[in-house]
């Protein structure tokens, strides 16, 4: 077993184990931490595949940004776990049967017979000075410029959608109206109330 293979099995083990731990953990915050571990393992496997840029992006974007956001949301929402798990056992047998069938079919079709090293040759290793990012950029801004632009449109759409759904009416927004502030008069803000003060009782 080469060093590469040992690394691959270690990372894969952590990947599968942390994914399972994420699904079965009772604490939502712990589940997020396990998910971070599984992302990290996946990124490590990508580095073994010489996809360094993607691996770093996975860690920066998903672990650094998305998962932190997830943690915030989980902490703020205070999800009731009992309602989430209420139908879990009811659906478990059916779900297990379906999952087993799908896994069996997938291993039959996608197993070593179809994608083993004797069928598909291993990709050639690149030299040490090979730049992953340069090649990626070259492809992204030439051959794939159209999908790249479409992804930008998708992001614009996501912004519009988020604002449309969250933005409330003008009434509830606290905004500063300078003209109103300038033209305000004392009688609008200050109300003089004449209070009859009780007379001092002279002893």
* Shortest Å distance, C-beta 113 to other proteins: 8
* Shortest Å distance, C-beta 118 to other proteins: 12
Distance (Å, whole) CA 181 – CA 23: 55
Q: Is the dihedral of CA 85, 90, 93, 97 positive or negative?
A: negative
Nearer Cβ to other proteins (86/135): 135
* Shortest Å distance, C-beta 30 to other proteins: 24
Identify the burial level of 108 via C-beta atoms within 10 angstroms of its C-beta, where 0-12 means exposed, 13-18 middle and 19 or more buried.
exposed
| Chain positions contacting other proteins, by CB under 8 A | 109-110, 113-115, 119, 135, 138, 142-147, 150-151, 153-154, 156-158, 160-161, 163-165
Nearer Cβ to other proteins (92/145): 145
Distance (Å, whole) CA 37 – CA 25: 14
Tokens of 148: 């790249």
Nearer Cβ to other proteins (96/157): 157
* Shortest Å distance, C-beta 106 to other proteins: 8
Nearer Cβ to other proteins (142/176): 142
Identify the burial level of 18 via C-beta atoms within 10 angstroms of its C-beta, where 0-12 means exposed, 13-18 middle and 19 or more buried.
buried
């Amino acid at each position: 077993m080469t060093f590469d293979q040992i690394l691959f099995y270690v990372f894969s083990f952590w990947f599968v184990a942390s994914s399972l731990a994420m699904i079965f953990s009772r604490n939502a915050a712990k589940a997020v931490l396990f998910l971070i571990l599984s992302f990290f393992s996946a990124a490590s496997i990508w580095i073994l595949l010489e996809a360094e840029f993607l691996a770093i992006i996975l860690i920066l974007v998903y672990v650094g940004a998305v998962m932190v956001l997830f943690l915030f949301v989980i902490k703020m929402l205070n999800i009731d776990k009992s309602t989430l798990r209420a139908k879990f056992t009811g659906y478990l047998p059916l779900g297990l049967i379906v999952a087993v069938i799908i896994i069996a079919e997938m291993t039959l079709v996608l197993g070593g017979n179809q994608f083993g090293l004797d069928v598909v040759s291993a990709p050639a290793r690149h030299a040490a000075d090979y730049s992953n990012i340069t090649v990626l950029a070259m492809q992204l801004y030439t051959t794939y410029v159209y999908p790249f632009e479409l992804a930008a449109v998708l992001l614009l759409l996501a912004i519009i959608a988020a604002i449309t759904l969250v933005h409330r009416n003008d009434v509830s927004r606290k905004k500063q109206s300078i003209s109103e502030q300038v033209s305000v008069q004392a009688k609008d803000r200050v109300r003089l109330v004449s209070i009859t003060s009780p007379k001092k009782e002279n002893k």
